[in-house]
Amino acid sequence: MTVLGLARVWALVFSAGWGWAAAQSPEIPQVGSPERGKALLLQRQDSGCVLCHQVQGLPAGGALGPSLVGLPERSTKDQARERIADARRFNPQTIMPAYFSTEGFNNVASAYKGQTILTAQSLEDILSYLFMPASATP
Ligand code: HEC
């Protein structure tokens, strides 16, 4: 087989692989898991939530943003989802990162281009923790 022939075979194998990967990651998330949500909220590097917020049941959080304790009493889950996805929709000057948006970022490293900070599933997991009754926190 020629070099070109080999390259074609590999191209086929890879494109088939990517098609499969896309089919395996549908954008429709499953019901959120509060345990996973708690772990995500605590991750200082990936989510960073506790750098700016206090969250019920978690060790002392930051104070750059409002405390999220009692959030379910003043916000619906849908409202909170929109805020976390892209807080700029409500406050263009916000310091809170837009966790589920790929728009309006500058100087994104090429490895991260087109990717959101949180996946749709991670966002649901975080919401399920934030909106669970205080007595039931894992
Ligand atoms: C750099 C600081 C910062 C980080 C990190 C951050 N936030 Fe925020 N957040 C804020 C600020 C400031 C506000 C106040 C509203 C605004 O600025 O638009 C806010 C508002 C909110 C609100 C609305 C609160 C309310 O009282 O209605 C929610 C919910 C929220 N953040 C969740 C999160 C979650 C979940 C994460 C992590 C995935 C996160 N935030 C990460 C700064 C931050």
79-106, pLDDT tens digit by residue? 999 999 999 999 999 999 999 988 877 7
pLDDT at 7: 54
| Concatenated DSSP letters of 36-55 | HHHHHHH-TTTT-HHHH---
Lookup result for tokens 């990162």: 97
Q: How many angstroms separate the alpha carbon of residue 96 from the centre of ligand 1?
A: 5
Q: How far apart are CA 49 and CA 61, in angstroms?
A: 8
Q: How many angstroms separate the alpha carbon of residue 1 from the centre of ligand 1?
A: 58
pLDDT at 16: 45
In the predicted structure, residue 120 carries a pLDDT above the cut 80: yes
pLDDT at 110: 80
Q: How far apart are CA 76 and CA 86, in angstroms?
A: 16
Domains identified in the chain and CATH numbers: 33-136 (1.10.760.10)
pLDDT: which is higher, 133 or 75:
75
